[in-house]
Structures are given as C-alpha cells and as structure tokens.
Structure 1
Amino acid sequence: MVRQSMNRNQLHDQNLKFVLQQIFNNHPTSRIEISHQLHLNKSTVSSLYNTLMAAGYLTELGLGEASTAGGRKPTLVEINRNYGYTLTFDLGYRHLHALVTLLNGHVWKYDRIETKGRSIHDMIDRIKQYIAQIQAEDRTSNGLLGICFSIHGIVLNNKVQTSPFIDMDGVDLEDVFTSTYDVPVVLENEANLSAIYERDFNGARQLNSTVTISIHRGIGAGVILHRDLFRGEHGDAGEIGRTIASIEIDGNGKSHAIHAEDISSEDAVIRQVEQAKGADTLDREDIVRLAQAKDLETVKALQTFTTAIAGLIYNTMRTLDPDAFFLNSPLVEELPHLLTDIRRVYQQLADTDLGIELTTNARLATVLGGCSLITHQVLGLEGYELNFDRPVDAEN
C-alpha cells in the first residue's frame, strides 16, 4: 500500500508540473486546452489547476471564445506575474548588470552599475543596496523569490572555481545571499547563460544542439547538447578561449602556449591596436570608431580577429557538431561586417554550410539566461522546457 501511495503521489506531482509548464508556455490558456494538450481527463486537470490557483501561481483573465461546437466559454488563465520576482546579477569587470523579472519572465527593471576597480566586497554591498531599493518598490505578493549570479569564470557545484577578472577573495556568494535573503541562489558561467538565453528566449527552440560563443575580455562557449546545458564533469566545458592556438619556443628551448583568447578576444583586439599606435587607453568604442574610419592598424587587427574566430568555430564544429553557432559579442554587434567576414572564412575552411548568427539583444542575453535558470528553480521545473517571450529591450 505504501509503494502504491508513493507512486500515486509521484504521478500527481509530475502532472502538477506538466500543468504548470503548459500554462507558462501557452499563455493565456484554459483548462480544456490543457486537458487536450496533456491527454488528461478534465477532472484531473481541474484538481491540479485548483492546487496551483490556491498557491497563487495563476491568475484568471476572464472568458475566452467558445469552441466551434458550442458549449460554455472557457476561463482563460496565465502565470500570475505579480506572485513575486527574481533577480539576476552579471558580475562584469567594468559593470554590474542587474535584471529584475517577474515570475512569468516579464522584465520589470534593468540597470547597469559602474564597478570597474571595485572589490568583490564593494560589489556585494552595492548589490544589497540595489535589492533594498527593489524591495522598497515591490508590490508583488511574495517579493523576492530567487537570485542568479552570472560569473565570468568557472562554476562547479554552485561555487566559483576560477574568476580571472574579479578577485573573489574567498567569498561564497551562495552562502552570503541565502543567509541574508532566505531564497534560492544559483551561480552559473556567463557563456552558459547566454546559451540558455538562445534556447529559451531567442528563437533557437527548434534547434537540438547549439554553441554560443561569448566574446568579451576573454572567450567562452555555452554548449547545449540535445536541449540540455553541457557543463562537463568539472565545469570546464566550453572554455574554448583557453584552447591552444599555437606554441612558441623561446631561446632557452621552453614552450609557451598561445591561447585562442590571446589573439581573438575583444581585449586582444584592443591590445593589438594599442601596440600599433603606442597607446594604452583604448576601449571598444575607440575600436569601433577607428574601424569605421578605415584605420589601417585597426582593420588589420580585426582581420586577425575574424580569421581566428572562424577557426575557433571550425574546430568546435569538428568536436561537437552542433546545429548552429551564435556569437554573443558587443564588438561584432557594433561592427556587423565582422560577422560576414567570419562566415566567409569559415566557409573557406569547412565543407559544410553551418548557421552562424549574432545573438540579438546581446546586452541582456546573459541576465535573461539567468532569469530562465532561476525561474526554473523557483517553479520547481528543472529539466522542463520553458519558453520565454522575447523581451522588449529594457532601458538603462
């Protein structure tokens, strides 16, 4: 009897999740539509629906249209956007990106906060100030539901393993924020979150396996295999920027590895142009301006960049064989002809035609991927596909 009861409870919990998933992915919908989609009888769906409604997850919108066969008009329902909100913070080298999203994935607020040169302790203080500000403005029923941190480094078991651009100074972000706010806290690599964004927000839903290459100070890749994020056994999967592009032998016979991101990251392009011009204060905006002015040193550096990125895509394609690649690169976004050059060089290298696209809404890609990750956890739907509407670009 106990075994039978456990199986019945497990089936109930699974069906409850299926109903919640259906409502999230098909808003607005109705009980009769859910019954048809899940092949569950109406009484079962009504019971599960009532459970979710009592928990506050749903909101009814009124009556829809009757079917062509007539009968009662169905009551339309969607996820209750005012149930609560989640927060995602991208701990960038220059900026702290903060995104506030309601439970249905709707963007409430986005802010970019200058943090260049600040310690991790200063950043944590600023994050807590930001959370206090949001809490003061909050009008939802349950307030803060969960927090996601985007990390420019390797994450394993929800802990930062390496952080090349920010000294974590032994800080355990999960411990700090769970103890303060008593909500789920998840950490994930920023390239992985960009890949999740492509899968859940940005039109890659029909693709089975994709690779999103994130090109910023360094280079990382988020790998989606058979619709699931692939992290590797130690969190290192996708660290393609650290792959060896060449090896140099010095005068003492010692080998020195040249990594892919040493020649093809955004910082690598900046360094090359700075060395050519004898400057040391250039940034991305300067590179864009010089490129648009057809500056020869900049054009040469960008040719090296596009060739190296095309080679990196080719090597990754030969290893993983995905359906498509996406590039999350503010530099390429601002100089779109670079994408054309990357595609051209790739086609010269490969004997197959492969989709190479630019991530749209790249400024929000990482934090929106974080929104998906923490929303899955808050709803208890890890492993269930949730489709988020592509958001209107938020204001700074």
Structure 2
Amino acid sequence: MNRNQLHDQNLKFVLQQIFNNHPTSRIEISHQLNLNKSTVSSLYNTLMSAGYLTELGLGEASTAGGRKPTLVEISQDYGYTLTFDLGYRHLHALVTRLNGRVSKYDRIDTKGKTIHEMVDRINEYIGQIQKQDTTSNGLLGICFSIHGIVLNNQVKTSPFIDMDGVDLEKIFSMAYQVPVVLENEANLSAIYERDFNGAHGLNSTVTISIHRGIGAGIILHRDLFRGEHGDAGEIGRSVASIEMDADGQPRFMHAEDISSEDAIIQKVEEQKGLKDLDRDAIVRLYREEDPETLVILKAFSTAIGGLIYNTMKTLDPDAFFLNSPLVEEIPDLLKQIRSVYQTLANDHVNIDVTQNARLATVLGGCSLITHRVLGLDNYELNFERPTTEPVG
C-alpha cells in the first residue's frame, strides 16, 4: 500500500475500534492497534474534525499513574439511518443513530396496499422524521428488508408484494441523496444474530426465518453468503416430498408448502372449518390444547427438525437460530424441533430461537446500512441489542 492507502486503512481501524469499544481513549486505541501515539492522535483528530466523535470527559488513570485519558465514543448527534421491512401486512420502520443505538420504531399497517402506496407512506414517514431531527447531518442512509430474492441491490423476486417495476434504490437515493441498500429479510436476521448478540462466539451460523414463507440467512466464516445469483438460503423452496397424482404425474411439495406460518394457518382453517385465522389464533388454539392444532404443530416441528438436519448436512454450521414469532410464542415447539433433529442426527447442534424476532430484520438492516455509511463494509462492528422494545 502507498501512504494514502495506509492512512485510509488505519483511519478505518481507529473508527472501528471506537465503535466497538465505547467509551475508549487514544491510548487504548494505540495499544489495541499497535500504532504509535502520534499516528493515533492524527487519525483521531481527523475523525473529530469530521464530527464523527464526541468526547465524554476524563477516565481513570492507569495503575502506573500519569495523565487521565480523554474518553470518546461515536457521536449520536452526527446523523441517523432508517430501515424499512416491507412485510405483507405491516411496514416496520426503525430509526437508529450513527452509533447504532435505536431511537424510534414504528409498525404501520399496509395490508392490501400496493407498492406505490407503500412508497408514498415511506416518503411521508421520512418527512415526519426529518421534521423532528436535531442531528448535525440528518439522514445518512436507508436499508430495505425484502421478503424475496435480492441481487445487485435490486429485487429479483417478490412472492408476497408485486413490485410492479419499482426500483427502490433509484427512487430513494435520488430523493434523499444517501446510500440505499436492499437485502433479503432472512439474511438480515442472520446479520442481526452476528452483530447484535455478542457474535455468540460462533464462526458460521444459519438463521431460518419462518413467516409467510421460509428462508435462511447463512453466515459462513463471519461473512454473509448469498450465492452466485442471490438464491442461497431459499430452503423453503427445497423439495420436501413427492406425491403422484391420479394421472401418475409427480406432484412436488416444497418445505414452505408444509411448514410455513401460512401453511399452518391454512391447515388449521381447513381442519376446523374456520376463516381468517392468524398467528395469535393458532397460539390460542394450542394453549387450549385443541386436538387438530396440536397434530398440525407436531407435524410442523417434525418438518422443521428435518429441514435443519438437511441444512446441517449441507453447510455444517456451528449453530442454528429460528426467527419465528410462532416458536417464540410456543417454546414447546423448540423442544420438539430439537428432539427431531437429535433423533435424525444422533448428535447435538445448538438450535435456539432468535430473541425479539419482530425486530431482528430491521436491526440487521441497521447494521448493514451503518457499515455502509461509515465505509466499513468489510469490518466487524458490534452493536448493543435494545434491552426494551423501542416504541414510536
């Protein structure tokens, strides 16, 4: 590297250190990066003059004595990012400061709305946030969580929302002159597990997202794996069974046809002759020990356990996480899923539920867009998980 390249790399290392170890000090950064004090001071001053940092006062002197160090962290008043999860029924909106701390979350009803109406609602929401904003630089970037396949920052397929040719990156980057990033919602759930939960000390993980469909976010050797065409993790489309119809032709059943939330709701409705059920109704029926519902959810647990087994044999990760509000509401399902896996594999792998599943995708989006805004796409950043759910 030439001198300029080395300077830029060291600047990013210093910024990463401050983000991950707040509050910290110049002397601590010097020790961690093995850079001399004058180099760190120069890089520190560059970041400070750009407004990225805020000083908090003096810390404790070292045991050897000497001057007390000045503590510093990323400035929460520099600006903010926005993440939107384009769900089928709701638009989830999250506002986070540059230091990764959540300042606002809203869930907006969009059931039956077209993508054009959703875009209008997003613009309206951004306008409201801008009016309330008191930061120095305002909106810094936007991330969109997509329930479909994303390739080259474009929506490749969207099974639940008709995109009607809408180019989200073009519309919002032109309107607000900020970076706009699109990512699959299961991938964002996997990023959330990696970046918000102390990294679990794990190298490779698979997060299985179970909602209207089923998808997987794959982290291999700490990096998100998307595949060559963005299709990696589309395990809901894997063939779960093959049946022959009356004409002797094969009929393929996919995993999400059997064990997605929509599939469960449809089966319960058919068995009980009911209509317009939702997840809450399924949970209620389970707690009431409704016989038909118990059988259907037992089949769900068996199918998910088998899906984890197949994925384990393909990718061999350190652990699995289930981003499933249904499993989060009914912990016994997790026990059943673990039991099915152990019966198949005759060994143990860590299988846990994603905590606070409703916010997992938007928090993963917060990480993705914060990396982009800071110019740290290939650097590890550690975020603090909200201890309480933010409200609008």
CA contact (8 A) 1:202 1:360 kept: no
Aligned residue in 2 for 1:395: 391
Q: What CA distance in whole angstroms lies between the structure 2 residues aligned with 1:153 and 1:42?
A: 48
| Aligned-pair CA distance for 1:204 | 3.0
Aligned residue in 2 for 1:83: 78
Aligned residue in 1 for 2:49: 54
Q: What CA distance in whole angstroms lies between the structure 1 residues aligned with 2:110 and 2:68?
A: 54
Q: What CA distance in whole angstroms lies between the structure 1 residues aligned with 2:109 and 2:87?
A: 9
Aligned residue in 2 for 1:32: 27
Q: What CA distance in whole angstroms lies between the structure 1 residues aligned with 2:30 and 2:142?
A: 33
- Pick from 336, 340, 347 the counterpart of residue 341 of structure 1: 336
Q: What CA distance in whole angstroms lies between the structure 2 residues aligned with 1:225 and 1:369?
A: 16
Q: What secondary structure is seen at the aligned counterpart in 2 of 1:29?
A: coil
Amino acid at match of 1:184: P
Q: What CA distance in whole angstroms lies between the structure 1 residues aligned with 2:296 and 2:391?
A: 32
CA contact (8 A) 2:143 2:368 kept: yes
**Does 2:101 match 1:117?**
no
CA contact (8 A) 1:60 1:75 kept: yes
**Does 2:127 match 1:132?**
yes
- Pick from 285, 297, 305 the counterpart of residue 300 of structure 2: 305
Q: How does 1:1-396 map to 2 (within 5 A)?
A: 7-392=2-387, 393-395=389-391
Amino acid at match of 2:66: G
Q: What secondary structure is seen at the aligned counterpart in 2 of 1:90?
A: strand
| Aligned-pair CA distance for 1:279 | 1.6
Q: What secondary structure is seen at the aligned counterpart in 2 of 1:248?
A: strand
Q: What CA distance in whole angstroms lies between the structure 1 residues aligned with 2:100 and 2:263?
A: 36
Deviations 1:298-349 (A, max 9, x none): 0011001000000000000000000000000000011111101111111111
Q: What secondary structure is seen at the aligned counterpart in 2 of 1:395?
A: coil
Q: What CA distance in whole angstroms lies between the structure 1 residues aligned with 2:365 and 2:136?
A: 22
CA contact (8 A) 2:169 2:180 kept: yes
Q: What CA distance in whole angstroms lies between the structure 1 residues aligned with 2:272 and 2:347?
A: 39
Q: What CA distance in whole angstroms lies between the structure 2 residues aligned with 1:81 and 1:337?
A: 41
Amino acid at match of 2:291: L
Q: What CA distance in whole angstroms lies between the structure 2 residues aligned with 1:277 and 1:394?
A: 37
CA contact (8 A) 2:198 2:382 kept: no
Aligned residue in 2 for 1:3: none
Amino acid at match of 2:366: C
Deviations 1:216-272 (A, max 9, x none): 000000000000000000000000000000112212222221000011111111011
Q: What CA distance in whole angstroms lies between the structure 1 residues aligned with 2:253 and 2:143?
A: 33
Q: What CA distance in whole angstroms lies between the structure 1 residues aligned with 2:359 and 2:67?
A: 43
Deviation beyond 3 Å, 4+ runs, structure 1? none
| Aligned-pair CA distance for 1:205 | 4.1
Q: What CA distance in whole angstroms lies between the structure 2 residues aligned with 1:250 and 1:266?
A: 25
Q: What secondary structure is seen at the aligned counterpart in 1 of 2:378?
A: coil
In structure 1, list runs of 5 or more residues that go unmatched: 1-5
Deviations 1:102-146 (A, max 9, x none): 000110100000000000000000000000000000000000000
Amino acid at match of 1:172: D
Q: What CA distance in whole angstroms lies between the structure 2 residues aligned with 1:57 and 1:203?
A: 24
Q: What secondary structure is seen at the aligned counterpart in 2 of 1:390?
A: coil
Percent identical pairs in the alignment equals 78
In structure 2, list runs of 5 or more residues that go unmatched: none
Q: What CA distance in whole angstroms lies between the structure 1 residues aligned with 2:383 and 2:337?
A: 30
Q: What secondary structure is seen at the aligned counterpart in 2 of 1:223?
A: strand
Amino acid at match of 1:134: I
CA contact (8 A) 2:206 2:321 kept: yes
| Aligned-pair CA distance for 1:200 | 0.1
Normalised to the residue count of structure 1, the TM-score between the two structures is 0.98
Aligned length: 391
